[in-house]
Amino acid sequence: MRRMRPDSLWPEPSASASGGEVARRWESLLDKAPRLRPWVDQMLGRQRMHLQQSGIAQVEVERSLWQDLSRWLADFEALPQFAVSAIAVTLEDETVHQVDPAPADAADAAAICSPERAVADLEALLSDPAFALAFHCIDARVRPRLAAAHPELGAVTESDWFALLHASSRQRPALSAEVAIALVLHLLSPGWASLPTAARHAALRLFLARPEDLGGDARVLCSALPAHWTLGPAQLPLFVAAAQEARVALADAARLCVRLVAGTRDRPGGLALLTEGSTAQPPPEEIAELFRNFRKYKHLGGFRRLISLF
């Protein structure tokens, strides 16, 4: 087994009889998805601080951390390897709105954002029925709402909206309807990371803004937004309204995903993790909508496997 790094935040091994085995399995997983390691360290650090501030004994802090690690590990080990890697990239990419890629990473960033790589990654993800379902829910609920946006927002591309929805989603180290949809949104917006950091920051702030937040010098805000949007002060309220509609559509897509999973006869792989305890069955029109969409995407293996479950 590879030795733990000296600065690692792994809990005290003596606090759990199974700690050594859990650590070994985590190290095996992190060898395959190394981008998860910073996230695991960060989450353990936050949990440790929260538990210590609650005043419980240190041994209970360490024991609780091992329990968290065991729970997260079970979720990750239930997923296909490509899904684990996709979640790792998404968790790491939370920083893309804060930090520019280092110069040494420019070539890697270009490769990740290339159209060919984006298509290949998306097709790999959609070979699993859980992510094919997430794609369908985006197609059925989010895309129509974006298409209905005001014509004056036409320069804000669908890919831009997808990137903003992904950036505003709460990333978690486990598969759920929201996480599956966020992963697909991430792969549908590969060019977002190539925009200047300041433009991404400004765009996300505007995306999350309320109408009453639009005070101040609108021209300064407009100049900070992605240049290809060409938005002026008069379009900002339209954008805020469209962003609200997009967030509502995203929530609708997640609920649709949960209902459709509840309607399947079997739930292989990641599908079993998308129910979130709900047993609400989808109405016939939602199943019919899925079958209509299958005609467009039947070349994707995940869609064929998904349809066979109804």
Tens-place pLDDT, residues 10-21: 898 888 989 889
Helix (H, G, I), strand (E, B) or coil at 298: coil
Residue 87: CB atoms within 10 Å: 27
The whole-number pLDDT of residue 171 equals: 63
Same domain, yes or no: 190 and 296: yes
Taking all residues of the chain, what is their mean pLDDT, rounded to a whole number? 83
CA distance 248 to 35: 31
Is residue 201 a part of any domain in this protein? Answer: yes
pLDDT in tens, 143-154: 999 999 899 999
Same domain, yes or no: 116 and 72: no
CB 193 within 8 A of CB 109: yes
Q: What percent of the chain has pLDDT over 90?
A: 42
Confidence of residue 255 (pLDDT cuts 50, 70, 90): very high
Tally of domains within the chain? 2
Residue 229 DSSP class: G
Residue 153: give the domain boundaries: 110-307
Same domain, yes or no: 58 and 131: no
Same domain, yes or no: 136 and 242: yes
Is residue 89 a part of any domain in this protein? Answer: no
Confidence of residue 261 (pLDDT cuts 50, 70, 90): very high
Domain boundary among 30, 57, 77: 77
Is residue 96 a part of any domain in this protein? Answer: no
* H-helix segments, 33-147: 36-54, 58-77, 81-92, 106-113, 115-125, 129-137, 143-147
Is residue 41 a part of any domain in this protein? Answer: yes
How many residues belong to the chain? Answer: 310
Domain boundary among 22, 54, 77: 77
- CA nearest 11: which of 35, 43, 34? 43
> Which H or E run includes 151?
none
CA distance 300 to 207: 32
Same domain, yes or no: 165 and 238: yes
Note the Cα 255 to chain centre separation in Å: 16
Same domain, yes or no: 298 and 189: yes
Is residue 170 a part of any domain in this protein? Answer: yes
Domain boundary among 35, 59, 77: 77
pTM for the model stands at 0.72
Same domain, yes or no: 248 and 168: yes
CB 197 within 8 A of CB 99: yes
pLDDT(110) > 70: no
Is residue 152 a part of any domain in this protein? Answer: yes
b/e 149-167 (16+ beta carbons within 10 angstroms → b): beeebeebbeebbbbbbbb
- The lowest-confidence range among 123-127, 172-176, 211-215 is 172-176
CB 186 within 8 A of CB 89: yes
Same domain, yes or no: 128 and 50: no
Between residues 81 and 29, which one has the greater pLDDT?
29
- The lowest-confidence range among 10-19, 187-196, 220-229, 262-271 is 262-271
Confidence of residue 160 (pLDDT cuts 50, 70, 90): very high
Helix (H, G, I), strand (E, B) or coil at 148: coil
Same domain, yes or no: 174 and 66: no
Mean pLDDT for the stretch of residues 274-282: 76
Instruction: Give residue for tokens 């036409």.
Output: 154
Is residue 18 a part of any domain in this protein? Answer: yes
Same domain, yes or no: 189 and 65: no
pLDDT(4) > 50: no
Residue 140 DSSP class: I
CA distance 183 to 204: 18
Residue 269: CB atoms within 10 Å: 17
Q: Which residues contact 73 (CB under 8 A, 6 or more apart)?
A: 22, 25, 26, 29
> Which H or E run includes 303?
helix 301-307
- CA nearest 218: which of 234, 196, 201? 234
Same domain, yes or no: 69 and 154: no
Is residue 167 a part of any domain in this protein? Answer: yes
Mean pLDDT for the stretch of residues 65-74: 88
Same domain, yes or no: 203 and 245: yes
CA distance 70 to 134: 26
